[in-house]
Each structure stands twice: as structure tokens, then as C-alpha cells.
Structure 1
């Protein structure tokens, strides 16, 4: 049992995240590219290698950030958007969509998540205006946009999903099924001063995570109709926003949000921002390459992370029912003698010795009672713990008291040390690789800035010149 796991995870996460922060030290002065302030067009916030970044997008992200932090800086938001654009382009070229967003088999598809973020951002910024616009719709609701809801028969669903009740390993549609789903119209709509359109079963399916797909395969018509209306609501918000701000502004904001998510996926691929034990292809590869010398060095500098309990001297009281167990626990809380209660109530063979378990040594596979003892603080009786038996098996309740415990350190040659130290070293290497990539991209980029949108001096970009 290794202690301090919780703070170690938090500390390592903070260290790795800091490696990608905006600290100027991460951008060496020897690899600078030109940063100019030649933009005067109020529509533009920046150009990155000639590609525009619109002021609308920067302003939208800044205003959103200020909802959580009143001190959020527009300049910092701009810098983050610039870095994200560079990193996201590199990530897609290097890894591709399937690797970056490997969880899409069970989670929402990446493009759906970006659309939802776009709609949520617009609602957060323009919710009042959207509500007022909706009041002017027929019936003062989104239902006023629906022009038809064709009947969907069970036979139509069978053509797409197959017969009900079939055993399935995955709830997915192949290309042929998707094509047939495209022919199943869930609703028709007419956007204000905009085009008429349809939302099909395929449109709804593409917006689902695994639970949603299970509901569709289960023929849950209420779920289908609800999801179609949610899709219509998203279309309406984007249509209203495009009419007000222009299609180019919507496309750019969506791109910025997409790049933000792509960089987050890139960081997770390098073990940053997820749990220290979470799978990461880059960390896994680097971990296999960590040398014995690196592990030894890490162990020397982080020995306290490998502190463990070597053995405990413990007593216990075994009770046959929970009511008696709670009664005994109450008496212990009141200061009653543990040994006397063990002799009176315990059903274990050692009851007459006061429940003495003696010294329990840390072993590779301790039984559940030993595990319970190893998890207890010294000198404090545990609460009654039910034995881990099946629901129909006779259970007992154990109260454990650790009288003494002896601590030591994991063997530096153990597999536990190899795994923990190797993983930590690999994560630090992965973070360093990503920081180096960031430096190279910034060093090679041509960036023009519109100085008029800045609210404080730039930190990263200014530090390059």
C-alpha cells in the first residue's frame, strides 16, 4: 500500500499542466518568428501564417471566460487561441481524428460536441436576445418551426435497426443502415427568413452517445422526438446567430472551439489533464523506454511517495448481525474496553484472547480482514464492516482496532516501483515533448496582431521578440 497517492496525482497534474502554460520561459529567444502589429481591420484579431482569426471569436471566448473569472484578459484569450491553432493543426496532421478522439465509439462524436459547445456559447452570451426572438415565432416556441412530423412505422425502423430483441455486441449502424436512416424523416421545419429542411433518423443517430443509440435501437419514440427537437433548437440558435453576426463569424468561432477541444485531446494523449493511471498511448510508449537508471534516480528523489505500511498489530470483533455490530460500535465510541467487548460479543475463535490478530505482515495478496486492518488509522476502532460475501450468503461484521503499525518503503526493485516511477518519468517526458512542440510551432509561425483588441501586453508572443 503506497501512501500519498492523492497529493502525488495532484502535484504531477499541476506540474504537467504548468509545462504547457503561458510562462515565457518555455519559449526560447533563439527560435523566434516575426510578430507584427500591422492589422487595422476591426474584424480581425490576428493572422496566423496568413489565416485569419476573427475578433468576434476572441471576444466571445473572452466574455465567456469572464462569466467565471472577472479578471480574465482578452489578450490571454487571444494568445491561447493562437497557440491552439498551431497545436491543433499539428495534432491533426500527426495523429488524426481517430487517435485524438478514440472515445467516440461510446461518447458523443467530436463534431457533435463542438456544435453543442458552439450553441452553448451563443446561448450563454445572447440568451436574452434569443429568447426574445423565439417569442416572435409561431406559438412563441420552437414547435412553431415544425411544418410536419411524418408517421414512423415499426417496419421503417426494422429496415434501419433490424428486428427488435436481437442480441447485439454494438449499437452502431453500418453505411447501408445509415443510408436507409437518411430516408426516415422525423420532422420537417422552416427557419425564419431561412431555408426549409428536414431532420432525419440518421441526423438524430449521429448526435447520440452509446446510451442514446441504445434508446434508438430500443424503439423509444419519445427519445427520438426529443432528440429531433434538440437538433432543431441547435439549428435555430446557429441560424439566428449567423443572421445577426454572419456565417463567417459562426464558422470561425466553431473552428476556435474545435481547436480548443483538439488541443485538450492532444494533452490527454500525452497524459496531461487526465488521471495519473489513465491510459495514454504516448505515455505507454515512453514508459516502456524508461531505463532502470531513470527509475532508480526517480526513487531516490521521490522516496516518500513509496512509503508503505510494513505490518500492523491488530485486534478485531466479529459480529453475526448488523444490529449487534452497531451496538458494539456505539459502546466503543463511548470508551468501552475493546478486549472486554471482544470476549463478550465476538464470534471469532480468538474472542477469548480479546480478538488478538497479532502482527499482520504486508504481503502480495492479504485476505480481506488484513486489508481492512492495513487501511485503518492507529488507535481508532473502525466502523462495522460487512464481510464481502454474495447476496445470499451469510455475512459477518468486523470491527478492527490497530494498536500499532510499522511503516517502511517499497523495495526499489519491486514491480510497483517500476510501474509508478516509470509512469511518472514517462509523463514528464511526454509533457516536455509537447512543450517542445509548442516552442517549435511558435518559433516558426508568422503572426500579425490587431493591437486595438488587446487589454494588456502579450506574454507569450511578445516574449518571442
Structure 2
């Protein structure tokens, strides 16, 4: 066999899990605890009429294939070796029910909003599916690859016009991407450009199963995120070849799997991955797994709807969140350079008297008063020295801090000591209280809505199981 080329390395990379920036193409841990464990009593209609060995269950009449269950269980065991097949099945059923409800209730656009710079959802799923299959059947796929002409993926390529340069003259590229070096606000093709890209054949292929097809420039383009598109717009031929072979590698894996396990079974595994992504998106929409600065249209809507009574109730019940410093009594020492500042700081750390050292070393006008700043009130927009004082604990000398002076102003350092601090409460009608409380109320409502949705989909579900796929009794679905 010939030495592995860059093309074959790209193939191996694709099989091993996909692209830069994507989540690993292995089920990212079962969501059993998140999806089902906190639900209200399930009350699902569970029966055991399924006898077809190809099926693990029917969920509201739709089949869940045994192949998809087996693949999901084996993938989950990479991260959770002790997970049972039954627990996996319960999770898949819970995710399928929640995902269906999420799509019906919110729609794809709301679930996946904020992902514009990422990969197209169906492309990401295909890559994740191919990577998952490679994780399970890597040895079998490598044997099939070795039996191809030349023992490589190139053995399925029947023609490669664009990769050989025949279809990519300058005029063809300009028609698709516009003039080279042209300033663009967005790296996207309009409808006309997309149509032209579809007519540029990158390569033709014939799979071992007999399936034949074409990869166009448009196929490569739609598989890219922003960084990938920038490479295409820059006419990076090596990148185009790499992406073409990665696309072909994914098609090769999926074609092999469908010929081995059947198209319906493989599509159902893809559905398992899609369900998991939808549930994760549903959780993010309800504030789970995002930080306080991450956007969620649902949380924003609920926050806007929070009434004054709800905000005041939250304020009364969580007053520890709204404590603020009203005023501090502080002293400071101003030094002209870092060396002298560090020397004075060392004396202070050794027990030196702050006021005495301020009178001796400070360059500020209040040095003769021992650097006394008096009482500093928390009002308006405090200057940087006041902000430094508010940030210090009572009785602790600050480290020397360089003042944020302009580029042409002389630098200096400040050391601050807070002698007294008076705390109070933020005003109940302040904007700060409204913002914090309304967002907290929104999160509480969102979690309650999600819990109610979990309970409803389980309560209304009709679940028919194949008892032969279970390796232990159900833990969740038949809970009373």
C-alpha cells in the first residue's frame, strides 16, 4: 500500500471525529439526569408488544431502531463504562419526546438562534454521524478502504475536474466568489452565486455499494463555517482539496453503514444525534448551560414580562444579593514610581503606620493629613481612586496600583487603606435591582416551564418496548 497522503490523513481526520471547532462526534454523555430525573411522576403509557428484533421501541408509534440504541449505548460507554442499555434506552426515549416537543413549540430557528457563525445544522449532524460510526466501526471501514483501487479513498473518485484545475479558471471563480481581493461585508453567496457554484463539479465518485454522485463547489461551500468560507473566497486550492476529500470521506462512511445496517437504521441514529442537539438547545433556551451574559430569546422575553410585584418579591427574598457599599473612610499614599511604591508597601506589610508613611512619602496634596481621603460616598460615577477604595477590604492595605494616566502624563502609583466601611441596600426601585431581579425571575419561570414540558411529554407518551433489549428493569419511565 502506498504511503498515506495528505488526502488520506484528511480522511482519517474526518473519520476520527470531524472538524475544527465542532463537538466530538461521540454522544457527549447521556442526559439521563437532566432530561428525566427531575420530571414529575412520568405516568407514561408503557407496554411491551414489540417483537421485531430490529426495533428497540416505538415512541408514539414511531420506531426507535435497535441499531440506534446499540450504537448510542456503545458510544456512551466510552465516557460512562457502567451505563446500562436500559438507561440508554430511557434517555433516548426522553430525548426523542423532548426534542419533538421543542421543535413543535419553538421551531428550529428559535432553538438554534445565535449559531450563525457555526456550521449548518444538517451538515454538522452528518459529520457527527460519520464520526460516531467511525468510532464504532473503524477497523471494518479501514478494511473496506484497503480493498479500493490503490488502497485509498481516491479509489472511489471517477473524475475530479475542479481539483485538477480544469473547472476552476479565474473567470469561473470570479462568477462564484466575485473579484479576488474585493472588500466584502459578509462571506456569503447570493442565490445567483450559489447556482453557479452548483454547476462547478469538484469531483465525481462511485461508492463500493454502486452509488454514484457528484460533489459541487456549492456542496463544499455549505459545509463551511466563517473561517472555512474565508479560505474558499481566498481561492485556497489546498483547502478546497482537503475539504472535498473530507466531504467524500463522510459520504463513504455513511454509504458503507447504510449498505451494512440499512438506511432506516442509520437515519435513526442520525435522529438520535439530532434529538440530543435539540434537547441541548432547549436547555440553553431555558437558561441551562449558559452563563449570565449568554443570550436567550426566551429568557429575554420572560425578563421583559416580569412585573413590579415579582421584582419586589424577589428583592425581599434575596436581599443579600443587593447589599452595596454606601461609603468608605480611606487613606492613600501616592508614589512617583513603582520601586518607591514597592518599598513603602514593604514597610506597611512589616507593620508601618499608614498615616506616618503617607506624611513622609506621599506626593499627594493630602500627605500632611496622613493621606486622609475622608468619607467617599458611592454616588454618581466614582473616579478610579474611589473605585479602588470601594474594592478594598476594610483594614487591608492594597498593593501598589499604577494610575490609569494618559500617554503623555507622568505615571504614579497609589496604595489605599480602607479604615471604615458602611454597607446599605440598593434602592428597591433602582435599575440595578430591576435588572438582576427580572433576570432571576425569568430563569425561575423558564426552569418551571421546562419541568412542566418534561412532565407533559412523559405523561402523554405512548411507549411500546421490546423487552429483549433491556438489561435491567426500567428506572424512570415506570416510576410512580
- Aligning the two structures, in what range does the TM-score lie when normalised by the shorter sequence? 0.7 to 0.9
Checking the alignment, whether the CA contact within 8 Å between 2:35 and 2:94 is kept in structure 1 is no
CA distance in 2, matches of 1:106, 1:308: 39
Q: CA deviation at 1:330?
A: 6.0
> CA offset at residue 450 of structure 1?
1.5
Q: Is the 8 A contact 1:46 1:448 kept in 2?
A: yes
Q: Is the 8 A contact 1:325 1:384 kept in 2?
A: yes
Range with bigger deviation, 400-409 or 70-79: 400-409
Contact 2:146-2:152 within 8 A present in 1 as well: yes
For 2:212 and 2:408, the matched residues in 1 are separated by 60
Q: CA deviation at 1:20?
A: 5.5
Quick one: structure 1 residues 275 and 356, their matched pair in 2 at CA, closer, same or farther if it must change by over 3 Å? same
CA distances 1:81-127 after superposition (whole Å, capped 9, x unpaired): 21222222222223222222122422222112222321232233333
Q: Number of matched residues? A: 445
Q: Which has the higher contact order (CA 8 A, sep 6+)?
A: 1
Question: Are 1:295 and 1:422, in contact at CA under 8 Å, matched by a contact in 2?
Answer: yes
Match for residue 105 of structure 1 among 110, 116, 126 = 116
Q: Could you give the per-residue CA deviations for residues 349-372 of structure 1, whole angstroms, max 9, x where no partner exists?
A: 444544443333223422233223
* Structure-2 residue corresponding to 1:275: 291
2:434 corresponds in structure 1 to 418
Residue 276 of structure 2 corresponds to residue 260 of structure 1? yes
Deviations 1:259-307 (A, max 9, x none): 1111221222222221234222222222222222222222222222223
Aligned-partner Cα distance in 2 for 1:392–1:139: 69
Structure 1 residue runs without a partner (length 5+): 1-16
Aligned to 1:96: 107
Partner of 1:9: none
Q: 1:83 aligns with which of 70, 91, 94?
A: 94
1:206 aligns with 2:217: no
* Cα distance change on mapping 1:281 and 1:127 into 2, 3 Å: same
User: For the Cα contact (< 8 Å) 2:32–2:91, is it kept in 1?
Assistant: no
Q: How many angstroms apart in 2 are the aligned matches of 1:305 and 1:18? A: 33
Shift of 1:426: 1.6
Q: For residues 387 and 91 of structure 1, do their structure 2 counterparts lie closer, same or farther at Cα, with a shift above 3 Å needed?
A: same
Q: Residue 127 of structure 1 is aligned with which of 116, 138, 142? A: 138
Match of 1:74 among 55, 67, 85: 85
What pairs up with 1:164-175 in 2 under 5 angstroms?
164-175=180-191
Equivalent position of 1:6 in the other structure: none
Q: Which runs of 5+ in 2 are unaligned?
A: 1-30
Match of 1:52 in 2: 63
**Aligned CA distance change for structure 1 residues 22 and 165 (closer, same or farther; 3 Å):** same
Please identify, of 405-414 and 154-163, the stretch whose mean Cα deviation from structure 2 is larger: 405-414
Q: CA deviation at 1:257?
A: 0.7
**Cα gap change, 1:143/1:404 in structure 2, threshold over 3 Å: closer, same or farther?**
farther
TM-score (norm: length of structure 2): 0.82
Deviation at 1:46, TM superposition (A): 0.9
Cα distance between partner residues in 2 of 1:360 and 1:399: 16
Structure 2 partner of 1:3: none
Q: 1:22 touches 1:459 (CA, 8 Å); kept in 2?
A: no
1:162-206 deviation digits (Å, cap 9, x = unpaired): 123333222211111111111223334443344343332211211
Distance 1:219 1:331 in 2: 64
- The two structures have a TM-score, normalised by structure 1, of 0.84
**What is the RMSD of the two structures over their aligned residues, measured on CA atoms?**
3.1
1:427 alignment partner, one of 437, 440, 443: 443
Residue in 2 that maps onto 1:38 = 49
The answer on 1:446 being equivalent to 2:462 is: yes
Structure 1 CA distance for aligned equivalents of residues 361 and 137 of structure 2? 67
Give, in whole Å, the separation in 1 of the partners of 2:195 and 2:348.
Answer: 69
Structure-2 change in CA distance of 1:293 and 1:120 (3 Å): same
Pair 217,449 (structure 1): closer, same or farther in 2 beyond 3 Å = same
Name the stretch that deviates more: 338-347 or 78-87.
Answer: 338-347
Q: Does 1:292 align with 2:308?
A: yes
For 2:392, which of 367, 370, 376 is the aligned residue?
A: 376
* Residues 1:367 and 2:399 are matched in the alignment: no
Does 2:179 align with 1:163? Answer: yes
- Runs (4 or more) in structure 1 with deviation over 6 Å come to 390-393
Measured in 2, the distance between the counterparts of 1:325 and 1:185 equals 69
Seen in structure 2, the aligned counterparts of structure 1 residues 174 and 312 have a Cα distance that, compared at 3 Å, is: same
CA distance 1:441–1:225, shift in 2 (3 Å): same
Deviation track 1:379-407 (CA, whole Å, cap 9, x = no partner) reads 44444444446677765444444444333
Shift of 1:339: 5.0
SS in 1 for 2:78: helix
Query: C-alpha separation between the residues in 2 aligned to 1:44 and 1:150?
Result: 46
* C-alpha deviation, 1:324, in angstroms: 5.5
